């Protein structure tokens, strides 16, 4: 594919045999954009580069996989006309710190940089470049653009989307806590950026705050497969309990323990209420085991009548079914960006209770849910109580219709396509 009508995506994250879920949302974006190009005479070819790292002698060489969604990796993209995935696994020395860390940095830069140069030599310089998640990819940008200039094409616009909730000090790996080399690479990337493409306005503000210098931007929302995540009139047995639903990796910043404590408080306050907290996800066995143990300690996993159910990792169809059948979605993260699970829940018409962090207030309002302060478990308990008592207040069909207008594949791809064309035409003049 490639050629003079191509867009290159450099993905810092993408699903592999090491992690089937890493960057699956980037795959969904790629599919949506490629589908939008079908049938257009002036269509763009999409070339997606990914350079997964693995420890030599410790890990098997990563390969693209069919992930838990059933549509991830090369199989995800290859079935969509207009997408080519260029995959180059990069081996890293298995020893950490000191000189080995420096060597690994340069191994990645040399191997991945060479793959980009070879592809450009064989297929030509792209019309534009779009970085998705700057982790490691950021270090490739200065040399890549030097090569573009040597080839006589210096005006190649660069878009940058950061899917990582890194531009804050809440998460353990926040930008301000990183080393100077890491920061330097991101500053160099930012210098080259022509248009920022944040997934939320909050992400745009935080990127500017940390990287400096205002950049033009286009709001590039997370995309939802609305053929899967769609509204269905709940066919719920009235004998079943009121269902709160949470879907995530169950990692610490999701504050699973805080949610469980809030739910336990609600159960203690209203012991006669019939309700259940359902948790989907947890491919990491440690996180899943910790959550189960904590729920047991709170008395929520009674052997005869458990009020918390753990479903483990599920594919997209199963997650959508859970969202269609639940009564309220709950997310209580310490920090997020613009969570895909919220947009998916809303497309199913499921009202959302969430902590008010990052881009979430742009997604959740009084028409489709409730917001609480992060870490405020008492407020979360009250919000869950209100959801139970006033669940009929939400128009689930209206919630779904509004969400589809924002997050459907065509809606998201159309915004990005227009941004590409406007800037590429301007650079060509």
Size of the chain, expressed as the number of residues it contains:
429
pLDDT score recorded for residue 82 = 65
Mean pLDDT across 295-319: 84
Give how far Cα 138 sits from Cα of 84, 157, 188, 312, 396, Å: 21, 15, 8, 34, 41
Place 364 in a pLDDT band, splitting at 50, 70 and 90: very high
**List of residues 6+ apart from 64 with CB closer than 8 A:** 14, 15, 16, 17, 73, 74, 75, 85, 87
pLDDT digits (tens, 9 = 90+) for 69-128: 333 333 344 445 568 889 999 999 998 788 999 999 999 999 999 999 999 999 999 999
How far from chain centre, in Å, is Cα 262? Answer: 26
What are the φ and ψ backbone dihedral angles of 330, each rounded to 5 degrees? Answer: -125, 130
pLDDT score recorded for residue 202 = 87
Instruction: Kindly report the pTM of this predicted structure.
Output: 0.87
Stronger pLDDT, 72 or 384, i.e. the higher one: 384
CA geometry: angle 268, 271, 277, nearest 5 deg = 75
Place 214 in a pLDDT band, splitting at 50, 70 and 90: confident
What are the φ and ψ backbone dihedral angles of 51, each rounded to 5 degrees? Answer: -125, 80
Mean pLDDT across 357-381: 94
Q: Which architecture characterizes domain 6-223+408-428 according to CATH?
A: 3-Layer(aba) Sandwich (3.40)
Mean pLDDT across 53-68: 79
Report the alpha-carbon distance of residue 68 to residue 56 in Å, rounded. Answer: 26
Q: Do domains 6-223+408-428 and 242-407 have the same CATH topology?
A: yes
**List of residues 6+ apart from 72 with CB closer than 8 A:** 15, 20, 21, 24, 27, 65, 66
- Rounded to the nearest 10 degrees, what angle do helices 316-325 and 340-347 cross at? 60
Q: Is 341 helix (H, G, I), strand (E, B) or coil?
A: helix
Give how far Cα 177 sits from Cα of 6, 168, 170, Å: 37, 9, 10
pLDDT digits (tens, 9 = 90+) for 237-295: 777 899 999 999 888 889 999 999 999 999 999 999 999 999 998 878 888 889 889 98
Is residue 219 scored above 70 in pLDDT? yes
In the chain the first and final C-alpha atoms are separated, in Å, by: 24
Question: Taking the domains of the chain in order of start, what are their residue ranges?
Answer: 6-223+408-428, 242-407
Lowest mean pLDDT among 115-119, 308-312, 325-329: 308-312
As a CATH number, domain 242-407 is 3.40.50.2000
pLDDT score recorded for residue 81 = 55
Q: Which ranges of 201-255 does DSSP label H, i.e. alpha helix?
A: 201-211
pLDDT digits (tens, 9 = 90+) for 180-207: 999 999 999 999 999 999 988 888 988 8
pLDDT score recorded for residue 70 = 35
pLDDT score recorded for residue 354 = 96
């Amino acid at each position: 594919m490639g050629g003079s009508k191509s867009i290159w995506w450099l993905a810092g994250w993408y699903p592999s045999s090491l992690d089937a879920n890493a960057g699956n949302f980037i795959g969904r974006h790629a599919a949506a954009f490629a589908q939008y190009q079908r049938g257009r005479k002036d269509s763009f070819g999409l070339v997606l580069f990914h350079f997964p790292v693995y420890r030599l002698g410790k890990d098997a060489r990563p390969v693209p996989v069919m992930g838990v969604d059933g549509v991830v990796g090369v199989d995800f993209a290859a079935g969509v006309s207009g997408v080519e995935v260029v995959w180059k696994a990069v081996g890293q020395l298995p020893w950490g710190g000191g000189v080995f860390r420096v060597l690994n940095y340069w191994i990645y830069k040399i191997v991945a940089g060479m793959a980009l140069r070879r592809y450009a030599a064989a297929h030509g310089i792209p019309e534009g470049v779009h970085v998705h998640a700057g982790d490691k990819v950021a270090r490739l940008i200065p040399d890549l653009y030097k090569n573009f200039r040597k080839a006589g094409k210096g005006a190649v616009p660069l878009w940058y989307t950061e899917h990582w909730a890194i531009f804050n000090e809440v998460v353990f790996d926040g930008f301000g806590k990183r080393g100077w080399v890491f920061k330097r690479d991101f500053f160099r990337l930012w210098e080259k950026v022509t248009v920022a493409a944040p997934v939320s306005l909050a992400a745009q503000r935080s990127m500017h705050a940390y990287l400096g210098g205002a950049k033009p931007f286009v709001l590039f929302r997370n995309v939802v497969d609305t053929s899967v995540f769609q509204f269905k009139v709940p066919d719920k047995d009235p004998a079943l309990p009121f269902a709160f639903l949470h879907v995530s990796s169950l990692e610490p910043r999701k504050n699973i323990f805080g949610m469980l404590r809030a739910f336990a408080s609600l159960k203690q306050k209203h012991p006669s209420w019939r309700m259940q907290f359902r948790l989907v996800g947890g491919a990491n066995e440690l996180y899943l085991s910790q959550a189960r143990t904590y729920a047991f300690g709170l008395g929520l996993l009674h052997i005869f009548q458990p009020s918390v159910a753990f479903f483990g990792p599920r594919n997209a169809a199963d997650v959508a079914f859970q969202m269609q059948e639940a009564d309220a979605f709950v997310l209580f993260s310490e920090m997020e960006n613009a969570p895909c699970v919220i947009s998916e829940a809303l497309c199913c018409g499921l009202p959302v209770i969430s902590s008010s962090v990052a881009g979430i207030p742009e997604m959740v309002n009084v028409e489709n849910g409730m917001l609480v302060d992060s870490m405020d478990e008492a407020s979360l308990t009250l919000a869950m109580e209100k959801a139970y008592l006033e669940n009929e207040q939400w128009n689930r069909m209206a919630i779904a219709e509004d969400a589809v207008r924002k997050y459907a594949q065509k809606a998201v791809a159309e915004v990005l396509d227009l941004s590409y064309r406007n800037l590429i035409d301007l650079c060509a003049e």
